[in-house]
């Protein structure tokens, strides 16, 4: 039996770029639509009494839709759910200070266009995941500071609540098991201008690095890898230009300049990879580029700027 739901919990995973040397984006959303009350509803089917539960939940869904959908939470708020799990029914959530232990932290909310018919599960998932990804990246700009077991989840309307007018999507940080403590927010509201400038420059490269081909091996998609190398080449130019353009404080100026220089060297090798005639040539240029990853320079720059200097997340760049 397909449960009647008022909130859909789409989960999760912190996606790690799987190919050798790829450094990743920090967080990414992958689609898995789960019912927030499916297990409970199926249990009620077995023991009886499901009718009253469904009617009660439908009424809750109607109220939620009228009130703005998934929780009506705001960016930066933290909340608990019954039992402390993200898959618990949404109706019992409780907003709490982020400084104490909590189930999840809201990275952003948005409303889907309301005039059109329900777009279908796949189309809705793709739209929501892309937007939640951008919101999460902007909310926690420093991928190094996000623990590897923190993932991106979202609450979104399903076909049933869409009919009731629910268009609200809530994107959150949470864990599959366990709770969070303290806020993960790192954006212009919590960082200084130098930290923001550094992370904006670094994330231009991180985004390109995360967008590589699906195929694990270059020989299985040489054209795709060459196209990706071209995109990384452009991103490295953007990163280096941004690093050189900012007026850095004295302690950070030297390591940032060194990082920009490494980006320039890596850019030359990535440009060669973009023109590689075969997989062997591509690998050669890729390895040359990886020798100029700038990791050591990034650590020194981060230390001077007061940013994280150890990698908590999976495979970030700089």
Alpha carbons 250 and 268: distance in angstroms, whole number: 29
Q: Looking at residue 213, what DSSP letter applies?
A: -
> What confidence tens digit (pLDDT) does each residue in 191-225 have?
999 999 999 999 999 999 988 999 999 999 999 99
The predicted pLDDT at position 283 comes to 97
pLDDT in tens for each of the 318 residues of the chain?
211 222 333 322 222 222 233 333 222 232 222 222 222 222 223 333 333 333 443 444 444 444 444 457 899 999 988 776 776 555 667 899 999 999 999 999 999 987 778 988 889 988 998 899 899 999 999 989 999 889 898 888 888 888 888 888 999 999 888 889 999 999 999 999 999 999 999 999 999 998 899 999 999 999 999 999 999 999 999 999 999 999 999 999 999 999 999 999 999 999 999 999 999 999 999 999 999 999 999 999 999 999 999 987 544 556
pTM: 0.74
Residues 151, 228, 207, CA angle at the centre, nearest 5°?
35
The Cα 275–Cα 256 span in angstroms is: 29
Number of CB atoms found within 10 A of residue 74's CB: 11
**Sheet with strand 33-35: strands edge to edge:** 33-35, 8-11, 151-156, 168-174, 104-111, 78-80, 94-96
């Amino acid at each position: 039996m397909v449960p009647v739901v008022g909130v859909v919990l789409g989960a999760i995973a912190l996606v790690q770029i799987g190919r050798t040397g790829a450094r990743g984006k920090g967080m990414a959303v992958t689609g898995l639509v789960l019912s927030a009350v499916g297990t409970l509803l199926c249990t009620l089917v077995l023991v009886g009494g499901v009718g009253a539960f469904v009617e009660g939940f439908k009424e809750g869904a109607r109220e939620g839709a009228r009130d703005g959908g998934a929780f009506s939470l705001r960016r930066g708020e933290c909340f608990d759910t019954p039992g402390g799990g993200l898959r618990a029914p949404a109706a019992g959530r409780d907003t709490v200070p982020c400084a104490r232990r909590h189930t999840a932290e809201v990275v952003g909310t948005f409303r889907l266009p309301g005039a059109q018919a329900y777009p279908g599960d796949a189309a809705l998932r793709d739209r929501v995941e892309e937007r939640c990804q951008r919101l999460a990246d902007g909310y926690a700009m420093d991928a190094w500071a996000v623990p590897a077991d923190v993932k991106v989840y979202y609450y979104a309307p399903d076909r049933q609540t869409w009919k009731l007018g629910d268009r609200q999507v809530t994107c959150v940080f949470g864990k599959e098991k366990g709770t969070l403590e303290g806020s993960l927010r790192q954006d212009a509201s919590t960082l200084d201008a130098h930290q923001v400038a550094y992370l904006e420059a670094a994330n231009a490269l991180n985004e390109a690095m995360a967008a590589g081909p699906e195929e694990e091996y270059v020989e299985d998609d040489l054209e795709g890898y060459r196209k990706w190398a071209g995109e990384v080449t452009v991103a490295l130019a953007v990163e280096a230009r941004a690093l050189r353009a900012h007026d850095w404080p004295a302690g950070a100026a030297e390591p940032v300049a060194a990082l920009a220089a490494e980006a320039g060297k890596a850019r030359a090798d990535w440009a060669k990879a973009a023109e590689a005639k075969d997989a062997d040539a591509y690998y050669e240029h890729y390895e040359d580029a990886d020798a100029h990853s700038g990791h050591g320079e990034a650590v020194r720059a981060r230390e001077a700027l007061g940013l994280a200097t150890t990698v908590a997340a999976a495979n970030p760049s700089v």
